[in-house]
Amino acid sequence: MFTDQVKIHLKAGKGGDGLVSFRHEKYIPYGGPFGGDGGDGGDIIFEADPGRTTLLDLRYNRKVVAQPGGKGKNKRMHGANGEDKIVKVPLGTIVRRGDTGQIIADLTEAGQQAVVAKGGRGGRGNCHFKSSRNTAPKYAEDGKPGDEFDAQIELRVLADVGLVGFPSVGKSTMLDAVSRARPEIGDYPFTTIHPNVGVVETGDGRSFIMADLPGLIEGASEGKGLGHQFLKHIERCRVIVHVIDMGGEEGRDPVEDYKIINDELKDYHLRLLDRPQVVVANKMDEAHAEENLKRFKEAYPDVEIFETTAIIHEGLDPVLRRAADLLATTPAFPIEGTEENQEGVVYTFEEKKKEVEIEEVEPGVWQLSGPRIERNFNISKLNTEEDYYLFANRMRYLGIDNLLREAGVKDGDTVRIENFEFEFVE
């Protein structure tokens, strides 16, 4: 089964907690704090594997989780770092954030790796908090959580040349004739329902990768038919081979078909028509082919057209040579969403979520929340007097106490963090 798009959930490893420990050895008085740091959480890494052709594995494994870091150990020993989770995907895979649509990885080379979710940093052990004022600290840092988000994984076929055209114009027949790819061939529309890729060699020894892409219909740029499922694969192609059924089977008009296909390429993406085209008049053995070809040349006198009959392998080598010539002079096109290709993108403003939010839920009672609070405070760790001392110092260091004053919190008011309440004292 060919799968070229899947949504998954990524969760990088949490950092290990630092350890509270003290040195107790004979003949070493006042040994002091001796707790080690926690290990870093594992990253989630995507790797391009040339042996894979589909995202089917991810379809049945929708949650990818990396290993957390180990807790710190005694004698200042560092906890074990979490093992990275390596996800192998086909060449041409794009990884997007599900919330923003931002491309965070584009894997186009064999063995290429990209860290898409970073593991959390391990917490420091109590040996780091010794000072002249506190020679025996009884607290340590918690490990930070790793990145966690939903991701959209897309596969866009990695090919130099893409065959486009209406259904049943002979694209699969042409690929079958010029390569060892064996696409399904039938006398009915949409025989090809997913891209087929083959390596093509010209008569003069040059080679490139060609993709037979599913047929277009009018309105494909708006999602009709196979729509965007087809059009997104052409974005990586540098040259387009536009195949036309010059025989006019099923009452189609080749002149009108050429215009419709180009309109769909134009409407889908502003730069698809920037790619050079090799126009192929296929099925020249049909009864009305010569007549239709004459009309086509009159309608488009500036278009170079190659006459072929793919089913008997006639006229194909000039097409391949022309495609190879164009590949030699055509640069790679940036993928949709990169900085170089932002023309026509409409940005909408979204207010950034506040790091700290303070709300008066009832007279004299305030609720404290926000990402900064979640990152820096773990209420479940407030067990000892030193935990409270560290909590108060961190509130002051991060400026939370000043923010509370600015919001109108007064001496004696109650401040809530999650399910914990404390009294605000000036």
The last residue of one of the domains, among 114, 130, 155, is 155
The last residue of one of the domains, among 92, 124, 155, is 155
Binding-site members for GTP are 165-172, 190-194, 212-215, 282-285, 309-311
Binding-site members for Mg(2+) are 172, 192
The residue with greater pLDDT, 214 or 73, is 73
User: Which segment of 64-78, 198-212, 259-273 scores lowest on mean pLDDT?
Assistant: 259-273
Q: In the numeric block, which tokens belong to residue 233?
A: 């694969």
Asked if 319 and 304 count as a contact pair (C-beta separation under 8 A), the reply is: no
Task: List, in sequence order, the alpha helices (H) in 15-87.
Answer: 56-59
Q: How many domains is the chain partitioned into structurally?
A: 3
Q: What is the CATH number of the domain that holds 131?
A: 2.70.210.12
Residue 392 lies in a domain: yes
pTM above 0.95, yes or no: no
Q: What is the CATH number of the domain that holds 190?
A: 3.40.50.300
SS3 199: strand
Phi and psi of 78, rounded to 5°?
-75, 135
Binding-site members are 165-172, 190-194, 212-215, 282-285, 309-311
Residues 191 and 145 in one domain: no
Residues 240 and 291 in one domain: yes
Residues 172 and 319 in one domain: yes
Q: In the numeric block, which tokens belong to residue 186?
A: 């039938």
Residues 221 and 284 in one domain: yes
The last residue of one of the domains, among 121, 155, 189, is 155
Residues 193 and 85 in one domain: no
Question: How far is 322 from 317, CA to CA, in rounded Å?
Answer: 9
Q: What is the CATH number of the domain that holds 381?
A: 3.30.300.350
User: What pLDDT digit, counting tens, does each position of 336-379 carry?
Assistant: 554 444 444 444 445 556 778 888 888 888 888 887 777 667 66
Phi and psi of 391, rounded to 5°?
-60, -45
Residue 350 lies in a domain: no
User: What pLDDT digit, counting tens, does each position of 121-179 carry?
Assistant: 999 998 988 888 888 888 888 888 999 999 999 887 778 888 888 888 888 888 888 88
CA-nearest of 280, 287, 279 to 248 is 287
Residues 375 and 301 in one domain: no
Residue 163 lies in a domain: no
User: What is the domain range of residue 78?
Assistant: 1-155
Residues 137 and 11 in one domain: yes
Residue 14 lies in a domain: yes
Token pair 């037979």 in the structure block, residue? 212
CA-nearest of 49, 323, 84 to 202 is 323
For residue 283, the Cα-to-chain-centroid distance in whole angstroms is 40
Q: In the numeric block, which tokens belong to residue 271?
A: 């730069």
Residue 193 lies in a domain: yes
